[in-house]
Structure 1
Amino acid sequence: MTESEGEAEAARAAVLTPPLSLGAGGLAGELRPANLGQRVLSLFRNVRPGSDLSHFQLPATFNLPKSQLQLYGEAVYCGGEDMLARCARGADSLQRMCAVVAWSISTTRPPIFGFAPYNPVLGETHHVSTSAGLNVLLEQVSHRPPVTALHATHARGEVELVWCQSPAPRFHGASVEAAVRGARELRLPRHAETYAVGCPGLVIRLLPSPGCEWAGDVRVSCAESGLEATLSYRRSRRSFLGLGGGDARCVRGRVFRSAAPDDTLCEVDGFWDRQVSLRDVATGEVSVLYDARQTIADLATPVVQDRKGVSASESAVVWAEVSAAILNKDWEAARQAKRRVEETARRLAKERNERGEVWTPSHFSLWQNKHGDWECWPLEDSVPPAPIVVPSPL
C-alpha cells in the first residue's frame, strides 16, 4: 500500500460523533445503563480521597466515543454562531470585552454524568475547520502530566486563539473536582488587543445525588484596554432581574476597569445553558449577552471532506475502533481496541527511552513557567484549512 493509499484508508476509518450540546444528550443517553450511579460509585471504592485521577483508566463502558482533544476542540469550532468573529467586530474596547466574555461562556458545554472522553495519547492531534473560515489544530503535547495545546486562526486574520490546558482531577470522597490549569489567550490583531481568559472547573458529585456541574471563578483581562471581567459559576439565590432559585448552571459576574476595580461598568447574570443578560450600570439598560439556544443547541457533527489529508495521528482515527465498538455497544471489542491504543503508546514511549530520545511536539513549543504552570506556543503563524470540516448551519 502506498503512503497516499494509507492516508485514504486512515480517513475511511475516522469515526466522528455528535458534539456535546443542548440537543445532543442522546449520544450518552443511548449508552447509559439503568444503574449508572451505582456503577460509577463502584469505580472509586478503592480510591483514596485526595488521589490524582489524571491517568485513571476508565473501562470503555464509561467512555464517550471521542477523545478529550475533540471535546476541547468542539468548544471552539462547534457553535450556531461564530462567537470568536463577534469578538473582533466590537465597535469599542468595552463591546469587545463583553463579546469575549460571551465567547468564554459559550465554551461551557453540558457535561454528562458517568461518561468521560478518552485520555489522549502523546502526539495525538485534532484538526478541524468551519465554513466561516476558522481553522483549529490541537495536539497532546505532554502525557505526564497531561497537557493539550490548541491553536485557532481565522482565515480573514480577525482572531487568533492559543489554548494550553492541563486538567487536574482529584477524588474527594463524595465528589471528583477537576481544576483546569492553563490559560486561553485570545488575540484580536486589528485592534492590537490580547485577552487572557480562564475557565471554570468541573465538579462531579457522587453523593448524596449524582450529577455534574461547572463551578468556580473565571477571570478575563485585557492589558491594552485596561478592562477586566470576573465570572462566577455557582448556585445563586437571586439575580438583578429578580430571578430566584439555586440552579447550578447560574453564571454571574461584572466588567470593570483594572485601575478602578470597585467601579462596575456592566453586570452579567443568567444561566449558561439558557440565556445570560448584560446590564449597563450607567444607563440601566439590559440586553442579551449570550443565548445558549442559538449557540450550543443541536450542533452539527464534523465530517471528513478531504480523505487524503487526514493524519494517522488524528483523534478520530486513533480511537476509531474503540468509538465504533462503543457505538455498537460491543463492549468486549471496545475494551480490546482501547487496550491496543494504550499499549501502542506505552511501547513507543519505552522505545524512545531505550534510544535516549526526548519526544518533542510537532506543532507547538512547550515550557513550564515560574509558577509551575504549563505554557505553549504554536510553531506556525496560522492554522491551515483542515481535512475535517463542520457543515454550515441549515
Structure 2
Amino acid sequence: MVGESASSTVVLTAPLALEGGLAEEMQPPNMVQRVLSLFRNIRPGSDLTQFQLPPLFNMPKSQLQCYGEGVYCIREDYLSRCSLEKTSRERFTSVVAWSISTTRPAIFGLAPFNPILGETHHVSRGNLNVLLEQVSHHPPISALHATDSLENIELAWCQHLVPKFYGASVDVVIHGHRQLLLKLHKEKYKMNAPNLVIRILPKTSMEWCGTVRIKCEESGLEAEVCYYRGRSFWGFRGNSRCISGKIFHTDTQKQVYEIRGHWDKTVSLKDINSGEVRVLYDAKKAISKLETPVLRNAEGLSATESGMVWGEVSQAIINKDWEKAREAKRKIEERERALARERKERGQVWIPKHFTISQTKEGHWECSPLDASVPQAPIFVPLPSPD
C-alpha cells in the first residue's frame, strides 16, 4: 500500500487524444538525442520491465490512468452502443468498433509512470464507473473493472506489459485479456490488445501492431483485426495506423464482414453477402478533443489514487522543475523498496484490495474483481457538450 508520505497534491492531466489533449501540451525538444543517450549503455534484447526512467522521459500521469482513459475518455459512446443494438451481429460489430476506440495516440519519447504496488485509479463517466489497481509490481500487472448499471455492461481486464530494447526500437508486448459482458443479452466477448512499437531509428514513430482477436461464444462470431507495423527499417512503405480484418463464424470460418481503414481516421465495414459498405468507426468523433477528468469529492479520494501518488512528480514535470521531479520520484521509489523489504522480513505476501490474481499452468496471469459492481468515483469525466 502507499505509505503516509504519499503526495497530497492531486494532479489530473489531459488525456491522450487524436486532437488536443496532452500531446499538444507536451512537446519535448531534442527528444531523439535524449532517447539515444538514455539507451546508450543498454544491450539489445534487454527486458526494460524494471528500468527506471528519469522524469525527463515521463508524461505527468500513471500507466493506470492511460489504461483508464481508453475506457472513460470518449466523445461518442461506443461502449453503450454495444448493449443497445438489437441483433447479435450488430452487437458484435459494435464491440469491434469499441475495441478500436480504446486505441490512443502515444507521445514519442515520453512514457507514463510505472504504477506502484497497490496503486489505484477510480473514475466515473455518466453511469460508467471504472476502477483499476496495480495488483503486482514484479511482474507489472494491472487490473481493470468497470460497470454500467444502466446499460448492464461489465468490463474486466488483466494486462501485463513486457518492454524490450532492440537497438533501433523498443517493442512493448501487452499480455493478458479483456472481457466485455453484455448482461442483458447474456453475451461475453473476450479479446486481447495490440502491442506497441517505439521506433527510434532511422525515423521516430509510435506504432500499434499485431492482431486483436475478439470472440463471442454465445453468438458464434469471431473477429481478427490486424494493426500493421507498416514501415520498413528505413521508414518507407505502408501506413503505421492502417488496420484490416474480418468477422466470421467460428464453426464454419465463413466470413461475414470485411474490416478496413485507419484507427486514427475511419474504419469501414463491408457486408460480404450484400456488398454494402458503412462506417464502423470514426476516430475524430470518438477520441478527439477529450475532456479532462475532474476531482468532485476530495474526501472520497483514496491515498492510493494515481493522481495523488504521483501528484508532486506530475506537477514538477508540468512546471519543468526537473530537480524537484527527480527528488519526488526518488522518494516514491525508495519508499516502495523499503515497504518491500519490510514485507520480505516479516514473511508477508501482499494481497490486492480489489482483485484476486492467479497464474495459469501456461504461465499467463488472470485477475478477477472481488466486487460485483464498481461504486461511483470521487473523480469524474464531464460529458462532452454538443457540437
TM range (shorter): over 0.9
- Helix, strand or coil: the match of 1:195? strand
Cα pair 1:10 1:311 within 8 Å, conserved: no
Unpaired runs of at least 5, structure 1: 1-6, 238-244
- 1:66-215 residue pairs with structure 2 within 5 A? 66-131=61-126, 133-215=127-209
Show the counterpart of 2:224.
230
1:11 shift after superposition:
9.8
Compared CA separation, residues 85 and 163, structure 1 to 2 (3 A): same
Q: CA 1:250–1:302 in structure 2 vs 1: closer, same or farther (change >3 Å)? A: same
Q: Which runs of 5+ in 2 are unaligned?
A: 232-236
Aligned to 1:345: 336
* Aligned match of 1:39: 34
| Alignment partner, residue 17 of structure 1 | 13
Task: Show the counterpart of 1:246.
Answer: 238
| TM-score, with structure 2 as normaliser | 0.95
Distance 2:205 2:377 in 1: 36
Residues 236 and 354 (structure 1), Cα distance of their counterparts in 2 relative to 1, 3 Å cut: closer
Q: Deviations over 1:133-164 (max 9, x none)?
A: 00000000000000000000002252100000
Match of 2:355 in 1: 364
Q: Distance in 2 between matches of 1:186 and 1:284?
A: 29
Q: Distance in 2 between matches of 1:75 and 1:151?
A: 13
CA RMSD of aligned residues (A): 1.7
The answer to whether the aligner puts 1:62 opposite 2:57 as a matched pair is: yes
- Whole-angstrom distance in 1 between the partners of 2:121 and 2:69: 10
Deviation at 1:182, TM superposition (A): 0.2
Q: Deviations over 1:102-138 (max 9, x none)?
A: 011001000111000000000000000002x000000
Aligned to 1:3: none
Rounded Cα–Cα distance in structure 2 between residues aligned with 1:11 and 1:363: 22
Whether 2:269 is the aligned partner of 1:291: answer: no
CA distance in 2, matches of 1:10, 1:384: 24
- Number of residue pairs the alignment of both structures matches: 377
2:266 equivalent in structure 1: 275
* Contact 1:169 1:176 (C-alpha < 8 Å) held by counterparts: yes
Taking structure 1 as reference, are residues 316 and 96 closer, same or farther at Cα in structure 2, changes over 3 Å only?
same
Secondary structure class of the residue paired with 2:201: coil
Distance (whole Å) between structure 2 residues aligned to residue 302 and residue 12 of structure 1: 18
Moved more, 207-216 or 358-367: 207-216
Paired residues of 1:129 and 1:390 also in contact (CA < 8 A):
yes
- Measure the CA separation in 2 of the matches of 1:190 and 1:21: 31
C-alpha change, 1:11 and 1:198, in structure 2 (3 Å) is same
**Among the aligned pairs, what percent are the same residue?**
58
Aligned residue for 2:157, secondary structure, equals: strand
- Is contact 2:225–2:243 with CA below 8 Å preserved after alignment? yes
Assess if the C-alpha contact under 8 Å between 1:64 and 1:116 holds in 2. Answer: yes
TM-score w.r.t. the length of structure 1 is 0.93
How far, CA to CA, are the matches of 1:283 and 1:144 in structure 2? 51
2:150 and 2:292 map into 1 onto residues whose CA distance is 24
